[in-house]
Amino acid sequence: MTDTMTVGSLNRINKTYSRRSMFLRRFGAHKLAVTGGIVLAVVVLVALIGPLLAGDPLALNPSQRLASPSFEHPFGTDNYGRDTFARAVAGARVSLLVGAVTAIITSVLGAIVGLFASYNRIADAILMRISDGLMAFPAILLAIAIMAAMGQRISNVIIALSIVFTPYVARIVRSAALVAKEQTYVEALRSQGASLFRILWINIFPNILSPLIIQATFVFADSIITEAALSFLGAGVPPPAPSWGNMLLDGKTLIYNAWWMTVFPGAFIMSTILAVNLLGDGLRDLLDPTFNRRK
Amino acid sequence: MTNLLEVVDLRTSFDTERGTVTAVDGASFTVAPGEVVGIVGESGCGKSVTAESILQLLDPASTTYSGQVRFGGEDLLTFGETAMRRIRGNRISMIFQDPMSALNPVFTIGDQLTEAILAHRRIGKQRARSEATELLEKTGIPEPQRRMRQYPHQLSGGQRQRVMIAMALSCDPELLIADEPTTALDVTTQSQILKLLIELKDEFDAGILFITHDLGVVAEICDRVVVMYLGEVVESANVHTLFDSPAHPYTRGLLASTPDIASDPSIDLPIIPGTVPTLHNVPVGCRFADRCSFVLPECRDRPIDLEVLSDGHSSRCIRSVKLFEDSAMSDGVAR
Ligand SMILES: Nc1ncnc2c1ncn2[C@@H]1O[C@H](COP(=O)(O)OP(=O)(O)OP(=O)(O)O)[C@@H](O)[C@H]1O
Ligand code: SF4
Ligand SMILES: [Mg+2]
């Protein structure tokens, strides 16, 4: 199924070698995408093995309050004497988890809603009006409202972000499917007695996979930012569990005394978002059939 | 011989932003088993809509059908979507003009053919695949084994059209609807595909409804011809009658403007003057009146009926009997 990733570029590629190797070769040549991929891989690695190296992110140590970066505490400590490095690394797990799970949920929901809307006018009218309504709110306000209604839990953060971002994905999928639907092969399939299910999921779905993958990377980045913003506003991941956002919140009042409390989580957020966006941009270039790579 | 397909007074209208348009207005014709019936006419006269109405492929939200599409003793227009799905691709198949986009770019030829077979028949995947390969072989594609594993973009237009034909024949249909299947192909490929269709028709004993705007193609393969103009059938006849003694001025115009068929190739081909009116302002009287060189004032008064001239030959023109008698000496279009 990986073959279907380059679907869009198909018509241009009139060569016989496999589309997968073609894609990998072009990806390798795309410096920004490669950079984004490497940085993201490092962050993921840190999130995975970091907690084994760093100490307990929740361990209080009153004698070591607000210690500046040292060999023992490379990122310093916070106002409870907790190790900032351990907390940032634990926060990476939270952020990546929230980003990845939200990206997966919105992709699945967005694909279902978008494809269905592309095929049924009544469903389209209803679903698109609902999504217009959701999109009319600034994402962060809507997320705060949902969190306020459901209570502060990581799972609720994911649910709130999924509600916020699904309409964006559904729109992209819908418009891609509307284009695919106009192709003669869809009419040909109908003339062969294909069911709606077979047309939508077996035949149109692979043709919308590239925009969906690209959109998923942006949702991934946006949910990390939005989660950080929510936590910063005190409506996200509840303390004492660390997240990059609530670490910024904790550091805010002490920024003149202990810059390390904000700079390190801030740097993590920035580099992760940058990496994911680079990757997403790169994928867009690589998967877009109308994109002609310059020499 | 009983007819395979009987279209009776078919009327297909669309709701559009500018009101309702009737793209097919009271079309009637028949197709017998083993017969090739051509539908000809200029672009926009309703040929494709007629074909799509038979299978009810048009958007149900904006399309209204009336009349009858009798097939196998039943009226297909009374069938719902589920019942139609059992007809489509199974008892009636269709091939399309554009072989470039009629196949899904993301699947191999083999997958698509196998899928089409499995959609209507309860057989194992392995068997479906081997039948698919056999079908491809029948359509004369070189190296069918290898083609099965290829993607549509790796095939030429002619080869893709052969794949479409294989797909259309995969469930041994009784009727094949071909909507300009050779228009996008070069002349050599075109005649190969036509030959293939005829061979396969005989082998499968199917009737064919063949849509084209090319009278040269009609002469090559059709037994009977239905000429359409602005949604109406204006003449229908046996292919020999149509070419030897066309009765409707529009048919004569089409014949005179077709190379190879026009009597004297040295003369510049006359073209039918003017353009087809739009469906939004259909004339009250004869729809062809504005472009007809035989027009009389009474032509514009009221709708013209389809008149039977002889067995199996009818024409929608108040002067056709007269013209029909003269046609042996006339050279086509009045100048
Ligand atoms: N979905 C639709 N809604 C409104 N009008 C339509 C629709 N589909 C077709 N028409 C109109 O119906 C008329 C007949 O179209 P049709 O496609 O049958 O022409 P055609 O004879 O097949 O022409 P061509 O040779 O170009 O394929 C045209 O005027 C077209 O604009
Ligand atoms: S009815 Fe009159 S206008 Fe129409 S085709 Fe015949 S002669 Fe021409
Ligand atoms: Mg057409």
Q: What is the CATH number of the domain that holds B29?
A: 3.40.50.300
**Rounded CA separation A155/A260 (Å):** 29
**Nearest alpha carbon to residue B60 among A235, A120, A21:** A120
Q: Are residues B187 and B48 in the same domain?
A: yes
Residue B334 lies in a domain: no
Residue B54, min C-alpha distance to chain A (Å): 10
Taking an 8 Å cut-off on Cβ atoms, the answer to whether B101 and A183 are in contact is yes
Q: Best mutation site among B104, B154, B167, B172 for testing chain A: the one with the most A CBs within 10 Å?
A: B104
Taking an 8 Å cut-off on Cβ atoms, the answer to whether A16 and B120 are in contact is no
Q: Are residues B248 and B166 in the same domain?
A: no
Q: Which residue, of B227, B249, B279, is where some domain finishes?
A: B227
pTM (whole model) above 0.90: no
**Nearest alpha carbon to residue A284 among A220, A173, A210, A216:** A210
Q: Are residues B201 and B318 in the same domain?
A: no
Show the tokens assigned to B289.
Answer: 């009146």
Show the tokens assigned to A142.
Answer: 């809507």
Reply yes or no on whether the pLDDT at B76 is more than 70.
yes
Range among A59-73, A186-200, B224-238, B305-319 with highest mean pLDDT value? B224-238
pLDDT at A62: 75
As a whole number, mean pLDDT of residues B26-34 equals 94
Residue B335 lies in a domain: no
Q: Are residues B215 and B284 in the same domain?
A: no
pLDDT at A101: 95
Q: What percent of chain A has pLDDT over 70?
A: 89
Lookup result for tokens 């009776």 = B8
Q: Which of B234, B282, B294, B330 to mutate to test the pocket of ligand 2 (most atoms within 8 A of CB)?
A: B294
Chain B residue numbers with beta carbons less than 8 Å from the beta carbon of A184 are: 96-98, 101-102
Residue of B nearest to A199 (CA): B104
Lookup result for tokens 């199917």 = B206
ipTM of the modeled complex? 0.83
Residue B75 DSSP code: E
Reply yes or no on whether the pLDDT at B70 is more than 70.
yes
Per-residue pLDDT band at A119 (split at 50, 70, 90): confident
Residue A141 DSSP code: H
Q: For residue B297, count CB atoms less than 10 angstroms from its CB and return exposed for 0-12, middle for 13-18, buried for 19 or more.
A: exposed
Ligand 2, atom 1: closest residue by C-alpha: B317
Q: Encode pLDDT of A15-43 as tens digits.
A: 444 566 667 777 777 788 888 889 999 98
pLDDT at B331: 47
Q: Are residues B145 and B275 in the same domain?
A: no
Q: Are residues B221 and B235 in the same domain?
A: no
Chain B residue numbers with beta carbons less than 8 Å from the beta carbon of A188 are: 94, 96, 102-103, 164, 167
Show the tokens assigned to B136.
Answer: 């491809």
Residue B283 lies in a domain: yes
Q: Encode pLDDT of B248-307 as tens digits.
A: 999 999 988 877 654 555 556 667 888 888 888 888 899 999 998 888 999 998 999 999
Reply yes or no on whether the pLDDT at A14 is more than 50.
no
pLDDT at B261: 52
Q: Are residues B116 and B260 in the same domain?
A: no
Grouping H, G, I as helix, E, B as strand and the rest as coil, residue B210 is strand
Contact A112, A234 (CB under 8 A): no
Q: Which atom of ligand 2 is nearest to the CA of B299?
A: 2
Reply yes or no on whether the pLDDT at B128 is more than 90.
yes
Write down all domains in chain A, each with its CATH number in brackets: 27-62+70-287 (1.10.3720.10)
Reply yes or no on whether the pLDDT at B332 is more than 70.
no
Q: Are residues B25 and B86 in the same domain?
A: yes
Rounded to the nearest integer, the mean pLDDT of chain A is 82
What type of residue is A99?
G
Q: Which residue, of B227, B252, B268, is where some domain finishes?
A: B227
**Nearest alpha carbon to residue B334 among B246, B228, B249:** B249
Q: Best mutation site among A189, A198, A208 for testing chain B: the one with the most B CBs within 10 Å?
A: A189
- Quickly list DSSP for A39-72: HHHHHHHHHHHHHHHS--TT---GGGTTPPS-SS
Q: Tally the domains of chain B.
A: 2
Q: Are residues B245 and B219 in the same domain?
A: no
Q: Which residue, of B210, B227, B244, is where some domain finishes?
A: B227
Range among A267-276, B97-106, B217-226 with highest mean pLDDT value? B217-226
Residue B257 lies in a domain: yes
**Rounded CA separation B14/B280 (Å):** 11
Show the domain range for B242. Answer: 230-329
Q: Are residues B23 and B169 in the same domain?
A: yes
Q: Are residues B218 and B257 in the same domain?
A: no
Reply yes or no on whether the pLDDT at B327 is more than 70.
no
What type of residue is B112?
Q
Distance B13 CA to ligand 3 centre (A): 16
Q: Are residues B154 and B262 in the same domain?
A: no
